């Protein structure tokens, strides 16, 4: 069922505390943790605790939870002190766009120059 934990999902396991992660922030509905393979000095993932395969599925099912993710991304940026220099929120969607974990997550990237358009 939509939003239910998936037994084979890495980020469901992180949300449940079954797989360790470098957690920065946790709310009732979200977890923010450092990416294991950082692409910038600040590279944090913000996930909903509920399982959705990507950001579009999440937004279609739970608009308020989608807003929680974006608000938490902003809180992470503030805590990491990258608001002044700028940061990027990315939702890779589909394997062709580089999505490798099919549990919706926002990448929060900052602390270095960020080119536009991205690769």
112: its two tokens: 């270095």
Task: Pick the binder of Zn ion from 103, 104, 105, 106 (CB under 5 A).
Answer: 103
In sequence order, the β-bridge partners of residue 51 are: 3
Burial of 27 (0-12, 13-18, 19+ CB in 10 A): middle
The verdict on 95 binding ligand AMP (CB under 6 A) reads no
Q: Is 107 a catalytic residue?
A: no
In sequence order, the β-bridge partners of residue 119 are: none
Which CB sits closer to Zn ion, 11 or 33? 11
The verdict on 99 binding ligand AMP (CB under 6 A) reads yes
What is the total residue count of the chain? 119
The verdict on 75 binding ligand AMP (CB under 6 A) reads no
| Residues annotated catalytic, as ranges | 105
Site residues, ligand AMP (CB under 6 A)? 10, 21, 33, 35-37, 45, 92, 98-101
């Amino acid at each position: 069922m939509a939003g239910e934990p998936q037994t084979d999902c890495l980020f469901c396991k992180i949300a449940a505390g079954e797989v360790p992660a470098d957690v920065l922030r946790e709310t009732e509905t979200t977890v923010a943790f450092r990416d294991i393979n950082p692409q910038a000095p600040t590279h944090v993932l913000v996930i909903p605790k509920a399982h959705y395969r990507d950001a579009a599925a999440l937004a279609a099912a739970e608009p308020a939870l989608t807003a929680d993710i974006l608000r938490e991304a902003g809180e992470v940026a503030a805590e990491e002190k990258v608001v002044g220099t700028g940061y990027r929120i990315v939702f890779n969607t589909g394997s062709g766009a580089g999505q490798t974990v099919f549990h919706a997550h926002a990448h929060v990237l900052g602390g270095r120059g960020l080119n536009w358009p991205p690769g």
